[in-house]
Amino acid sequence: MKETTVALENASLSLAEWVARARREHSTVVVLDAARPVARLVPTLASRCTGAELARALASTDLSPEEARAWADDLRQSRAALSAPEDKWR
């Protein structure tokens, strides 16, 4: 994801514009105070995708056998690390 930096003084004057830009461009805006990062504006929808979107992206990707094995290993490790969501109805 593209990342843009903006000084705190500039961000505070046009916060709505920076939020709109992050949403429109699917980019991250890093707010700097005295050249140090202090905040991040990240569009909430940019960090998620549906299973169907992932399947479409993977269908158009040509992986080498090594890359495919590495991806499958990563997927197995990720699944093993997941825990079931909390049942809020209990």
Per-residue pLDDT tens digits for 65-74: 999 899 899 9
The distance of Cα 43 from the centroid of its chain, to the nearest Å, equals 8
pTM: 0.48
> Dihedral, CA atoms, 60, 65, 71, 77, nearest 10 degrees?
150
pLDDT of residue 7: 93
Q: What is the pLDDT of residues 14-59, one digit of tens each?
A: 889 988 888 888 889 999 999 999 999 988 764 567 788 788 888 8
For 51-72, give one letter per residue: b (16+ CB within 10 A) or e.
Answer: eeeeeeeeeeeeeeeeeeeeee
Distance CA 74, CA 41 (A): 28
Reported as half-sphere exposure (CB side, CA atoms, 13 A), residue 89 has a value of: 0
Q: For residue 85, what pLDDT band results from cuts at 50, 70 and 90?
A: confident
